[in-house]
Amino acid sequence: MWGGRFSERPDAIMEEINASIDVDRHLYAQDIAASKAHAAMLAAQGIISAEDANGIGQGLDTVLSEIRKGTFDFKRSLEDIHMNVESRLAELIGPAAGRLHTARSRNDQVATDFRLYVRDAIDEFDAALAAFQRALVKRAIEHAGTVMPGFTHLQTAQPVTFGHHLLAYVEMAARDRGRFADARRRLNESPLGAAALAGTSFPIDREATAEALGFERPMANSLDAVSDRDFVLETLSAAAITAVHLSRFAEEIVVWTSPLVGLVRLSDKFTTGSSIMPQKRNPDAAELVRAKTGRVIGALTALLIVMKGLPLAYQKDMQEDKEGAIEAFAALSLAIRAMTGMVEDLVPDEARMKLAAGDGYATATDLADWLVRTLNMPFRDAHHVTGRIVARAAKDGVALHQLSLQAMQEIEPRITAEALRVLSVEASVQSRTSFGGTAPDNVASQAQAWAKRLESERK
Protein backbone atom coordinates (compact mmCIF):
# COMPACT_ATOMS: atom_id res chain seq x y z
CA MET A 1 0.00 0.00 0.00
CA TRP A 2 2.88 2.37 0.72
CA GLY A 3 5.62 0.47 -1.08
CA GLY A 4 6.78 3.60 -2.89
CA ARG A 5 8.13 4.98 0.36
CA PHE A 6 9.05 1.78 2.22
CA SER A 7 11.51 -0.80 0.92
CA GLU A 8 11.21 -3.44 3.66
CA ARG A 9 8.26 -5.46 4.89
CA PRO A 10 7.04 -4.72 8.41
CA ASP A 11 8.18 -6.99 11.19
CA ALA A 12 5.77 -9.78 12.11
CA ILE A 13 5.10 -8.12 15.44
CA MET A 14 4.34 -4.85 13.64
CA GLU A 15 1.87 -6.67 11.41
CA GLU A 16 0.24 -8.23 14.46
CA ILE A 17 -0.22 -4.99 16.40
CA ASN A 18 -1.14 -2.96 13.32
CA ALA A 19 -3.77 -5.22 11.77
CA SER A 20 -7.41 -4.47 12.55
CA ILE A 21 -9.16 -6.82 10.12
CA ASP A 22 -10.23 -9.20 12.89
CA VAL A 23 -12.39 -6.37 14.27
CA ASP A 24 -13.28 -4.04 11.41
CA ARG A 25 -14.42 -6.90 9.17
CA HIS A 26 -17.73 -6.30 10.97
CA LEU A 27 -17.94 -3.04 8.99
CA TYR A 28 -17.88 -4.71 5.57
CA ALA A 29 -21.43 -3.74 4.56
CA GLN A 30 -20.93 -0.11 5.59
CA ASP A 31 -17.53 0.04 3.87
CA ILE A 32 -18.93 -1.23 0.60
CA ALA A 33 -21.96 1.07 0.76
CA ALA A 34 -19.72 4.09 1.33
CA SER A 35 -17.39 3.06 -1.49
CA LYS A 36 -20.29 2.71 -3.91
CA ALA A 37 -21.58 6.15 -2.99
CA HIS A 38 -18.09 7.61 -3.38
CA ALA A 39 -17.54 6.01 -6.79
CA ALA A 40 -20.91 7.21 -8.07
CA MET A 41 -20.11 10.74 -6.92
CA LEU A 42 -16.66 10.67 -8.57
CA ALA A 43 -18.28 9.72 -11.87
CA ALA A 44 -21.02 12.34 -11.54
CA GLN A 45 -18.33 14.97 -10.97
CA GLY A 46 -16.31 13.79 -13.97
CA ILE A 47 -13.38 12.75 -11.77
CA ILE A 48 -13.52 9.14 -12.98
CA SER A 49 -15.31 7.72 -15.99
CA ALA A 50 -18.81 6.30 -15.85
CA GLU A 51 -17.39 3.04 -17.17
CA ASP A 52 -14.94 2.77 -14.29
CA ALA A 53 -17.65 3.69 -11.78
CA ASN A 54 -19.98 1.00 -13.15
CA GLY A 55 -17.19 -1.57 -12.97
CA ILE A 56 -16.38 -0.54 -9.41
CA GLY A 57 -20.04 -0.78 -8.39
CA GLN A 58 -20.48 -4.22 -9.91
CA GLY A 59 -17.22 -5.42 -8.42
CA LEU A 60 -18.20 -4.18 -4.97
CA ASP A 61 -21.51 -6.02 -5.27
CA THR A 62 -19.55 -9.20 -5.98
CA VAL A 63 -17.32 -8.62 -2.95
CA LEU A 64 -20.39 -8.05 -0.78
CA SER A 65 -21.92 -11.30 -2.02
CA GLU A 66 -18.72 -13.23 -1.33
CA ILE A 67 -18.48 -11.91 2.22
CA ARG A 68 -22.11 -12.72 2.96
CA LYS A 69 -21.70 -16.24 1.56
CA GLY A 70 -18.54 -16.79 3.61
CA THR A 71 -16.28 -17.35 0.60
CA PHE A 72 -14.27 -14.14 0.94
CA ASP A 73 -10.64 -14.60 1.95
CA PHE A 74 -9.78 -12.01 4.59
CA LYS A 75 -6.02 -11.38 4.68
CA ARG A 76 -4.37 -10.03 7.82
CA SER A 77 -1.46 -8.80 5.73
CA LEU A 78 -3.84 -6.24 4.20
CA GLU A 79 -4.49 -4.82 7.68
CA ASP A 80 -8.11 -3.71 7.52
CA ILE A 81 -11.46 -4.09 5.82
CA HIS A 82 -10.78 -1.21 3.43
CA MET A 83 -7.67 -2.73 1.89
CA ASN A 84 -9.13 -6.23 1.87
CA VAL A 85 -12.10 -4.99 -0.14
CA GLU A 86 -9.98 -2.86 -2.46
CA SER A 87 -7.51 -5.70 -3.07
CA ARG A 88 -10.27 -8.12 -4.01
CA LEU A 89 -11.88 -5.46 -6.17
CA ALA A 90 -8.60 -5.13 -8.10
CA GLU A 91 -8.58 -8.89 -8.67
CA LEU A 92 -12.10 -8.68 -10.05
CA ILE A 93 -11.97 -5.56 -12.25
CA GLY A 94 -8.30 -4.74 -12.69
CA PRO A 95 -6.63 -1.29 -12.59
CA ALA A 96 -9.93 0.62 -12.41
CA ALA A 97 -10.14 -0.44 -8.77
CA GLY A 98 -7.23 1.89 -8.03
CA ARG A 99 -9.38 4.88 -8.98
CA LEU A 100 -11.80 4.24 -6.13
CA HIS A 101 -9.52 5.81 -3.55
CA THR A 102 -9.35 9.12 -5.42
CA ALA A 103 -10.23 12.08 -3.18
CA ARG A 104 -10.52 10.08 0.02
CA SER A 105 -8.30 8.63 2.74
CA ARG A 106 -8.63 5.68 5.03
CA ASN A 107 -9.13 8.32 7.72
CA ASP A 108 -12.43 9.64 6.37
CA GLN A 109 -13.30 6.17 5.08
CA VAL A 110 -13.16 4.50 8.49
CA ALA A 111 -14.90 7.43 10.18
CA THR A 112 -17.74 7.12 7.67
CA ASP A 113 -17.96 3.34 7.96
CA PHE A 114 -18.05 3.41 11.74
CA ARG A 115 -20.68 6.16 11.84
CA LEU A 116 -22.85 4.04 9.57
CA TYR A 117 -22.24 0.99 11.78
CA VAL A 118 -23.10 2.83 14.99
CA ARG A 119 -26.18 4.33 13.36
CA ASP A 120 -27.35 0.83 12.42
CA ALA A 121 -26.68 -0.36 15.99
CA ILE A 122 -28.76 2.50 17.40
CA ASP A 123 -31.67 1.58 15.14
CA GLU A 124 -31.44 -2.02 16.36
CA PHE A 125 -31.37 -0.89 20.00
CA ASP A 126 -34.44 1.26 19.48
CA ALA A 127 -36.40 -1.63 17.99
CA ALA A 128 -35.27 -4.00 20.75
CA LEU A 129 -36.12 -1.54 23.52
CA ALA A 130 -39.55 -0.95 22.00
CA ALA A 131 -40.16 -4.71 22.11
CA PHE A 132 -38.98 -4.71 25.74
CA GLN A 133 -41.43 -1.93 26.53
CA ARG A 134 -44.30 -3.77 24.85
CA ALA A 135 -43.57 -6.87 26.93
CA LEU A 136 -43.49 -4.81 30.13
CA VAL A 137 -46.72 -3.00 29.27
CA LYS A 138 -48.54 -6.24 28.50
CA ARG A 139 -47.61 -7.64 31.92
CA ALA A 140 -48.41 -4.31 33.61
CA ILE A 141 -51.95 -4.43 32.20
CA GLU A 142 -52.32 -7.98 33.50
CA HIS A 143 -51.09 -6.99 36.97
CA ALA A 144 -52.35 -3.43 37.37
CA GLY A 145 -53.98 -4.44 40.66
CA THR A 146 -51.58 -7.14 41.86
CA VAL A 147 -50.29 -5.91 45.22
CA MET A 148 -46.62 -6.33 46.06
CA PRO A 149 -44.19 -4.73 48.49
CA GLY A 150 -42.42 -1.58 47.41
CA PHE A 151 -38.91 -1.25 48.78
CA THR A 152 -36.44 1.37 49.86
CA HIS A 153 -33.05 0.24 51.16
CA LEU A 154 -34.29 -3.28 50.24
CA GLN A 155 -36.64 -2.93 53.22
CA THR A 156 -40.39 -3.15 52.83
CA ALA A 157 -41.59 0.45 52.49
CA GLN A 158 -45.13 0.80 51.13
CA PRO A 159 -47.44 -1.45 49.12
CA VAL A 160 -47.40 -0.90 45.36
CA THR A 161 -48.73 -2.93 42.46
CA PHE A 162 -46.65 -5.21 40.30
CA GLY A 163 -47.92 -3.38 37.23
CA HIS A 164 -46.71 -0.09 38.68
CA HIS A 165 -43.27 -1.57 39.28
CA LEU A 166 -43.05 -2.82 35.70
CA LEU A 167 -44.10 0.55 34.29
CA ALA A 168 -41.11 2.14 36.03
CA TYR A 169 -38.90 0.23 33.60
CA VAL A 170 -41.07 1.29 30.67
CA GLU A 171 -40.28 4.89 31.59
CA MET A 172 -36.56 4.12 31.93
CA ALA A 173 -36.53 2.42 28.54
CA ALA A 174 -38.25 5.46 27.03
CA ARG A 175 -35.45 7.69 28.29
CA ASP A 176 -32.90 5.19 26.99
CA ARG A 177 -34.51 5.35 23.56
CA GLY A 178 -34.46 9.14 23.76
CA ARG A 179 -30.74 9.18 24.50
CA PHE A 180 -30.04 6.88 21.56
CA ALA A 181 -32.20 9.07 19.32
CA ASP A 182 -30.26 12.15 20.42
CA ALA A 183 -26.97 10.40 19.73
CA ARG A 184 -28.21 9.29 16.30
CA ARG A 185 -29.21 12.82 15.37
CA ARG A 186 -25.79 14.21 16.27
CA LEU A 187 -23.80 11.45 14.57
CA ASN A 188 -25.78 11.68 11.35
CA GLU A 189 -23.24 13.83 9.50
CA SER A 190 -20.89 12.49 6.86
CA PRO A 191 -17.08 12.61 7.21
CA LEU A 192 -16.61 11.28 3.66
CA GLY A 193 -14.59 13.69 1.54
CA ALA A 194 -12.60 15.11 4.45
CA ALA A 195 -9.77 12.90 3.15
CA ALA A 196 -6.74 12.56 5.42
CA LEU A 197 -7.39 15.76 7.41
CA ALA A 198 -7.37 18.79 5.10
CA GLY A 199 -10.01 18.03 2.49
CA THR A 200 -9.14 17.49 -1.17
CA SER A 201 -8.35 19.51 -4.28
CA PHE A 202 -10.71 17.39 -6.41
CA PRO A 203 -14.12 18.94 -7.17
CA ILE A 204 -16.08 16.43 -5.09
CA ASP A 205 -19.72 16.75 -4.05
CA ARG A 206 -19.90 15.91 -0.36
CA GLU A 207 -23.59 16.75 -0.22
CA ALA A 208 -24.25 13.99 -2.77
CA THR A 209 -22.39 11.28 -0.84
CA ALA A 210 -23.97 12.39 2.42
CA GLU A 211 -27.45 12.12 0.90
CA ALA A 212 -26.68 8.76 -0.71
CA LEU A 213 -25.68 7.33 2.67
CA GLY A 214 -28.65 8.76 4.55
CA PHE A 215 -26.70 11.45 6.40
CA GLU A 216 -28.30 14.81 7.09
CA ARG A 217 -25.29 16.77 5.89
CA PRO A 218 -21.49 16.55 5.47
CA MET A 219 -19.37 17.45 8.48
CA ALA A 220 -18.27 21.07 8.26
CA ASN A 221 -14.63 20.74 9.36
CA SER A 222 -12.26 18.21 7.81
CA LEU A 223 -10.06 18.00 10.91
CA ASP A 224 -13.05 17.28 13.13
CA ALA A 225 -14.47 14.82 10.61
CA VAL A 226 -11.53 12.42 10.78
CA SER A 227 -10.59 12.85 14.45
CA ASP A 228 -13.98 12.88 16.20
CA ARG A 229 -15.18 9.83 18.06
CA ASP A 230 -17.83 11.66 20.06
CA PHE A 231 -20.46 9.66 18.22
CA VAL A 232 -19.08 6.40 19.64
CA LEU A 233 -18.62 7.84 23.11
CA GLU A 234 -22.13 9.25 23.21
CA THR A 235 -23.66 6.01 21.97
CA LEU A 236 -21.65 4.02 24.48
CA SER A 237 -22.80 6.43 27.20
CA ALA A 238 -26.42 5.78 26.25
CA ALA A 239 -25.66 2.07 26.08
CA ALA A 240 -24.07 2.11 29.53
CA ILE A 241 -27.11 3.81 31.10
CA THR A 242 -29.40 1.33 29.35
CA ALA A 243 -27.29 -1.56 30.60
CA VAL A 244 -27.47 -0.19 34.15
CA HIS A 245 -31.28 -0.08 33.92
CA LEU A 246 -31.37 -3.67 32.69
CA SER A 247 -28.95 -4.71 35.42
CA ARG A 248 -31.13 -3.18 38.13
CA PHE A 249 -34.12 -5.13 36.87
CA ALA A 250 -32.00 -8.27 36.54
CA GLU A 251 -30.88 -7.87 40.16
CA GLU A 252 -34.50 -7.64 41.25
CA ILE A 253 -35.32 -10.83 39.38
CA VAL A 254 -32.39 -12.58 41.06
CA VAL A 255 -33.66 -11.46 44.47
CA TRP A 256 -37.33 -12.12 43.77
CA THR A 257 -36.73 -15.67 42.48
CA SER A 258 -34.73 -16.66 45.56
CA PRO A 259 -36.68 -19.19 47.67
CA LEU A 260 -36.12 -16.87 50.63
CA VAL A 261 -38.17 -14.20 48.84
CA GLY A 262 -40.20 -16.13 46.29
CA LEU A 263 -42.12 -13.27 44.72
CA VAL A 264 -41.74 -14.52 41.11
CA ARG A 265 -40.81 -17.68 39.25
CA LEU A 266 -38.95 -18.19 35.98
CA SER A 267 -39.48 -21.29 33.89
CA ASP A 268 -36.87 -23.67 32.55
CA LYS A 269 -36.50 -21.36 29.53
CA PHE A 270 -34.50 -18.78 31.48
CA THR A 271 -32.97 -20.77 34.32
CA THR A 272 -30.28 -23.43 34.64
CA GLY A 273 -29.54 -26.25 37.05
CA SER A 274 -26.52 -27.28 39.06
CA SER A 275 -23.97 -29.92 38.14
CA ILE A 276 -24.07 -31.30 41.70
CA MET A 277 -27.27 -30.04 43.39
CA PRO A 278 -30.29 -31.47 41.56
CA GLN A 279 -32.78 -29.20 43.30
CA LYS A 280 -31.27 -25.94 42.06
CA ARG A 281 -32.96 -23.52 39.68
CA ASN A 282 -30.55 -20.66 39.02
CA PRO A 283 -31.59 -17.35 37.42
CA ASP A 284 -28.53 -17.38 35.16
CA ALA A 285 -30.06 -15.29 32.37
CA ALA A 286 -30.67 -12.44 34.81
CA GLU A 287 -27.22 -12.83 36.33
CA LEU A 288 -25.56 -12.68 32.91
CA VAL A 289 -27.52 -9.55 31.97
CA ARG A 290 -26.26 -8.05 35.22
CA ALA A 291 -22.69 -9.03 34.37
CA LYS A 292 -22.72 -7.77 30.79
CA THR A 293 -23.23 -4.27 32.13
CA GLY A 294 -19.55 -4.31 33.09
CA ARG A 295 -18.59 -4.97 29.49
CA VAL A 296 -20.57 -1.97 28.26
CA ILE A 297 -19.32 0.40 30.95
CA GLY A 298 -15.78 -0.91 30.39
CA ALA A 299 -15.94 -0.12 26.68
CA LEU A 300 -17.03 3.44 27.41
CA THR A 301 -14.29 3.93 29.97
CA ALA A 302 -11.63 2.43 27.71
CA LEU A 303 -12.48 4.69 24.78
CA LEU A 304 -12.61 7.77 26.97
CA ILE A 305 -9.08 6.94 28.13
CA VAL A 306 -7.89 6.33 24.56
CA MET A 307 -9.24 9.68 23.36
CA LYS A 308 -8.33 11.89 26.31
CA GLY A 309 -4.80 12.76 25.21
CA LEU A 310 -5.03 12.74 21.41
CA PRO A 311 -4.22 15.92 19.48
CA LEU A 312 -5.85 16.57 16.12
CA ALA A 313 -6.18 14.93 13.75
CA TYR A 314 -6.15 11.14 13.28
CA GLN A 315 -3.88 9.02 15.50
CA LYS A 316 -3.42 5.27 15.28
CA ASP A 317 -4.66 5.01 18.86
CA MET A 318 -8.11 5.53 17.40
CA GLN A 319 -7.98 2.08 15.85
CA GLU A 320 -8.93 0.93 19.36
CA ASP A 321 -12.32 2.62 19.02
CA LYS A 322 -14.05 -0.36 17.45
CA GLU A 323 -13.33 -3.61 19.28
CA GLY A 324 -14.72 -2.60 22.65
CA ALA A 325 -17.67 -0.77 21.14
CA ILE A 326 -18.64 -3.63 18.84
CA GLU A 327 -18.45 -6.12 21.71
CA ALA A 328 -20.42 -3.76 23.97
CA PHE A 329 -23.15 -3.26 21.39
CA ALA A 330 -23.47 -7.02 20.90
CA ALA A 331 -23.63 -7.55 24.68
CA LEU A 332 -26.31 -4.90 25.11
CA SER A 333 -28.38 -6.23 22.23
CA LEU A 334 -28.35 -9.70 23.78
CA ALA A 335 -29.14 -8.33 27.23
CA ILE A 336 -32.20 -6.43 25.99
CA ARG A 337 -33.54 -9.52 24.24
CA ALA A 338 -32.88 -11.68 27.30
CA MET A 339 -34.70 -9.25 29.59
CA THR A 340 -37.63 -9.11 27.18
CA GLY A 341 -37.83 -12.89 27.27
CA MET A 342 -37.73 -12.97 31.07
CA VAL A 343 -40.48 -10.36 31.34
CA GLU A 344 -42.69 -12.50 29.12
CA ASP A 345 -41.75 -15.65 31.07
CA LEU A 346 -41.93 -14.65 34.73
CA VAL A 347 -44.91 -15.63 36.86
CA PRO A 348 -45.61 -13.64 40.03
CA ASP A 349 -46.74 -15.45 43.16
CA GLU A 350 -49.63 -13.10 43.85
CA ALA A 351 -50.52 -14.53 47.26
CA ARG A 352 -46.97 -14.27 48.50
CA MET A 353 -46.62 -10.78 47.05
CA LYS A 354 -49.74 -9.62 48.90
CA LEU A 355 -48.58 -11.16 52.15
CA ALA A 356 -45.12 -9.61 51.81
CA ALA A 357 -46.67 -6.23 50.99
CA GLY A 358 -48.03 -6.05 54.52
CA ASP A 359 -44.84 -7.06 56.25
CA GLY A 360 -42.67 -4.55 58.04
CA TYR A 361 -45.63 -2.33 58.96
CA ALA A 362 -45.80 -1.16 55.35
CA THR A 363 -49.08 0.73 55.82
CA ALA A 364 -47.74 2.94 58.60
CA THR A 365 -47.64 5.93 56.26
CA ASP A 366 -51.33 5.39 55.55
CA LEU A 367 -52.04 5.70 59.27
CA ALA A 368 -49.96 8.87 59.49
CA ASP A 369 -51.85 10.32 56.51
CA TRP A 370 -55.17 9.45 58.20
CA LEU A 371 -54.10 11.34 61.31
CA VAL A 372 -53.27 14.38 59.19
CA ARG A 373 -56.49 14.26 57.16
CA THR A 374 -58.95 13.34 59.92
CA LEU A 375 -57.46 14.84 63.08
CA ASN A 376 -55.77 17.81 61.35
CA MET A 377 -52.53 16.76 63.00
CA PRO A 378 -49.27 18.25 61.64
CA PHE A 379 -47.50 15.56 59.65
CA ARG A 380 -44.43 15.57 61.87
CA ASP A 381 -46.63 14.92 64.90
CA ALA A 382 -48.52 12.24 62.98
CA HIS A 383 -45.22 10.64 62.03
CA HIS A 384 -44.22 10.53 65.72
CA VAL A 385 -47.54 9.09 66.87
CA THR A 386 -47.52 6.45 64.15
CA GLY A 387 -43.96 5.51 65.05
CA ARG A 388 -45.06 4.89 68.65
CA ILE A 389 -47.98 2.76 67.44
CA VAL A 390 -45.63 0.73 65.22
CA ALA A 391 -43.32 0.23 68.21
CA ARG A 392 -46.29 -1.03 70.26
CA ALA A 393 -47.28 -3.47 67.49
CA ALA A 394 -43.70 -4.72 67.32
CA LYS A 395 -43.61 -5.15 71.09
CA ASP A 396 -46.87 -7.13 71.01
CA GLY A 397 -45.63 -9.17 68.04
CA VAL A 398 -48.58 -8.35 65.76
CA ALA A 399 -49.06 -6.73 62.40
CA LEU A 400 -50.15 -3.10 62.35
CA HIS A 401 -53.68 -3.91 61.18
CA GLN A 402 -53.93 -6.54 63.95
CA LEU A 403 -53.14 -4.11 66.76
CA SER A 404 -56.28 -3.38 68.79
CA LEU A 405 -58.01 -0.03 68.61
CA GLN A 406 -57.66 0.22 72.40
CA ALA A 407 -53.85 -0.11 72.13
CA MET A 408 -53.78 2.65 69.52
CA GLN A 409 -55.99 4.90 71.62
CA GLU A 410 -53.61 4.52 74.56
CA ILE A 411 -51.12 6.41 72.39
CA GLU A 412 -53.56 8.76 70.61
CA PRO A 413 -57.06 8.84 72.19
CA ARG A 414 -58.72 10.50 69.18
CA ILE A 415 -58.07 7.55 66.85
CA THR A 416 -61.32 5.85 65.80
CA ALA A 417 -62.20 2.54 64.17
CA GLU A 418 -62.20 4.35 60.83
CA ALA A 419 -58.38 4.39 60.99
CA LEU A 420 -58.26 0.60 60.91
CA ARG A 421 -59.81 0.60 57.43
CA VAL A 422 -56.80 2.35 55.88
CA LEU A 423 -54.33 -0.25 57.13
CA SER A 424 -54.97 -3.02 54.57
CA VAL A 425 -52.58 -3.26 51.63
CA GLU A 426 -55.51 -3.03 49.20
CA ALA A 427 -56.72 0.20 50.78
CA SER A 428 -53.17 1.55 50.72
CA VAL A 429 -52.65 1.10 46.99
CA GLN A 430 -56.19 2.24 46.18
CA SER A 431 -55.51 5.51 47.98
CA ARG A 432 -52.42 6.42 45.94
CA THR A 433 -54.35 8.26 43.26
CA SER A 434 -51.95 11.16 42.66
CA PHE A 435 -50.55 11.40 39.14
CA GLY A 436 -47.92 8.71 38.75
CA GLY A 437 -49.14 6.89 41.84
CA THR A 438 -49.68 3.18 42.28
CA ALA A 439 -53.51 3.11 42.46
CA PRO A 440 -54.65 0.27 40.18
CA ASP A 441 -56.82 2.58 38.06
CA ASN A 442 -53.81 4.85 37.56
CA VAL A 443 -51.63 1.92 36.58
CA ALA A 444 -54.19 0.51 34.16
CA SER A 445 -54.63 3.93 32.55
CA GLN A 446 -50.87 4.51 32.21
CA ALA A 447 -50.32 1.02 30.83
CA GLN A 448 -53.07 1.40 28.25
CA ALA A 449 -51.68 4.78 27.19
CA TRP A 450 -48.26 3.22 26.73
CA ALA A 451 -49.76 0.32 24.78
CA LYS A 452 -51.41 2.76 22.35
CA ARG A 453 -48.26 4.83 22.02
CA LEU A 454 -46.06 1.81 21.33
CA GLU A 455 -48.56 0.35 18.89
CA SER A 456 -48.75 3.65 16.97
CA GLU A 457 -44.96 3.54 16.55
CA ARG A 458 -45.26 0.29 14.62
CA LYS A 459 -47.59 1.75 11.97
How far apart CA 109 and CA 361 sit, in angstroms, is 63
- Identify the CA nearest to 428 among candidates 148, 163, 144, 141: 148
Active site residue 77: no
d(CA 424, CA 427): 5
* Active-site residue identified among 153, 275, 434, 456: 153
The catalytic residue among 49, 65, 77, 274 is 274
- CA 23/CA 318 separation, integer angstroms: 13
CA distance 407 to 394: 12
What is the distance of C-alpha 153 from the center of its chain?
Answer: 25
CB-side neighbour CA atoms (13 Å) of 15: 9
Catalytic (active site) residue 164: no
Q: Which long-range contacts (CB under 8 A, 24 or more apart) does 425-433 make?
A: 425/147, 425/159, 425/354, 425/357, 425/358, 425/362, 425/363, 426/147, 427/363, 427/366, 428/158, 428/159, 428/362, 428/363, 428/366, 429/145, 429/147, 429/159, 429/160, 429/161, 431/366, 431/369, 432/160
Q: Indicate which residues carry an active-site annotation.
A: 153, 274
